[in-house]
Copies of this chain bind each other. A is one copy, B any other.
Amino acid sequence: MMTKKASSSSNARPSKSKNPKFLWTRKDLVGLDELSSEEIVHVLDTAVSFQEVSTRSIKKIPALRGKVVALLFFEDSTRTRMSFELAASRLSADTVFLSGKGSSTSKGETTLDTVRNVEAMGVDVFVIRHSQSGAPHQLVDKVNVPIVNAGDGPHEHPTQALLDIFTIRQKLGTLEGVRVAIVGDIAHSRVARSNIIGLRKLGAEVVVVGPPTLVPATITAMGCEISHSLDDILGEVDVINMLRIQFERFSSNLFPSLREYSSLFGMNADRLSKCRKDVLIMHPGPINRGVELTSEVADGPNSCILQQVTNGLAVRMAVLYLVSQSRH
């Protein structure tokens, strides 16, 4: 059932086509919240131009040669780290990596001091992952080097949302009027938050789906609808983005059992047959086969999960390129 309709599409604007006169001026990318729809579209368009690089025999352009991208992962993430590392490398940048474990932070140093120290070593871009919401935002005014947020607590994960949106636009040609379901633990998901913000800005409709314990009623303030039944919305959406289950939620009594979750909110062949023929099945990965979706769905023709990963490279190349070219 639909519990609430998005108030209006006041903050929903059409996704623009390539605008050669647009000038990127942002030093940082900490969230989609502060980006205009024009800026989001500019990132997507820039990513399109970088996409071609990955198909070359020599997958490198000299755009960031002699620059250093510092990957500061105060919270672990192999996959996002690798994606940014490869994106940087494709732009000919060098990378330097700092992980939360064994870092100076664990010696009692503040995050700000750690970041300022690495800045003093002469790096050119920061990619920061942090378990605390807002950590990258707090650093923005205190360092001169551009900061890209690679996920901050349950707050935002802008490059993940950008690659999701890029993939939808690639497949469907537009975001305008596209109807997207985001399924799972909406309450604790930075992927959900950033997707809702970005999708709404580009004119898509969003319905979030999950049990009441995992879907806060206040989320409608972001311009999306709520459904507590996946079955109810199957036939009406163009895209279904399945969030990864964080197993620790189950032990904290937010949901009775994995089996029950899966039976109510997992995608399977039966549910897929009730969807529109060309529905896109997405997942930010890593997937739990048999939980969020069955292997039949994950590996089937509607799945664009691996394409998301591929697009992530182009989107992150675009982001690294844009923030390091900005005059700040």
The 4 lowest CB-CB distance pairs between A and B, nearest first, are A58-B66, A109-B286, A120-B309, A104-B286
Question: Which residue of B96, B121, B313 is within 8 Å of A312 (Cβ)?
Answer: B121
Shortest Cβ distance from A79 into B: residue: B104
When all copies of this chain in the complex are counted, the total is 3
Most buried by B among A96, A98, A313: A96
Q: Which of A264-316 contact B (CB under 8 A)?
A: 285-289, 306-307, 309-310, 312-313
Q: Are the C-beta atoms of B82 and A98 separated by less than 8 Å?
A: yes
With A59-B68, A82-B121, A120-B309 known, 7 other A-B pairs at CB within 8 A are A57-B66, A60-B66, A86-B96, A89-B96, A120-B306, A120-B307, A121-B313
Residue A103 lies at the interface, judged by CB distance under 8 Å to chain B: yes
Q: Are the C-beta atoms of B67 and A59 separated by less than 8 Å?
A: yes
> Which residues of B have CB within 8 Å of A78?
98, 102-104
Residue A231 lies at the interface, judged by CB distance under 8 Å to chain B: no
Q: Are the C-beta atoms of B68 and A58 separated by less than 8 Å?
A: no
> Which residues of B have CB within 8 Å of A137?
none
> Which residues of B have CB within 8 Å of A96?
82, 85-86, 89
Which A positions have Cβ atoms within 8 angstroms of B? 54, 56-60, 65-68, 76, 78-79, 82-83, 85-86, 89, 94, 96, 98, 102-104, 107-110, 113-114, 116-123, 247, 285-289, 306-307, 309-310, 312-313
A166 to chain B, nearest CB (A): 14
Q: Are the C-beta atoms of A59 and B54 separated by less than 8 Å?
A: no
> Which residues of B have CB within 8 Å of A113?
285-287, 289
Question: Which residue of B58, B59, B82, B120 is within 8 Å of A310 (Cβ)?
Answer: B120
A17 to chain B, nearest CB (A): 27
CA distance A98 to B58 in the complex (A): 22
> Which residues of B have CB within 8 Å of A79?
104, 117
Q: Are the C-beta atoms of B54 and A65 separated by less than 8 Å?
A: no
CA distance A199 to B94 in the complex (A): 35
CA distance A118 to B286 in the complex (A): 11
CA distance A98 to B85 in the complex (A): 12
CA distance A76 to B103 in the complex (A): 9
> Which residues of B have CB within 8 Å of A66?
56-60
CA distance A156 to B82 in the complex (A): 28
Most buried by B among A94, A288, A313: A94
Q: Are the C-beta atoms of B68 and A89 separated by less than 8 Å?
A: yes
A247 to chain B, nearest CB (A): 8
CA distance A122 to B83 in the complex (A): 10
Give 14 pairs: A residue, B residue, CB < 8 Å, sorted on A.
A58-B66, A58-B67, A59-B68, A78-B102, A82-B118, A89-B96, A104-B286, A107-B286, A108-B288, A109-B288, A117-B306, A120-B310, A121-B313, A122-B310
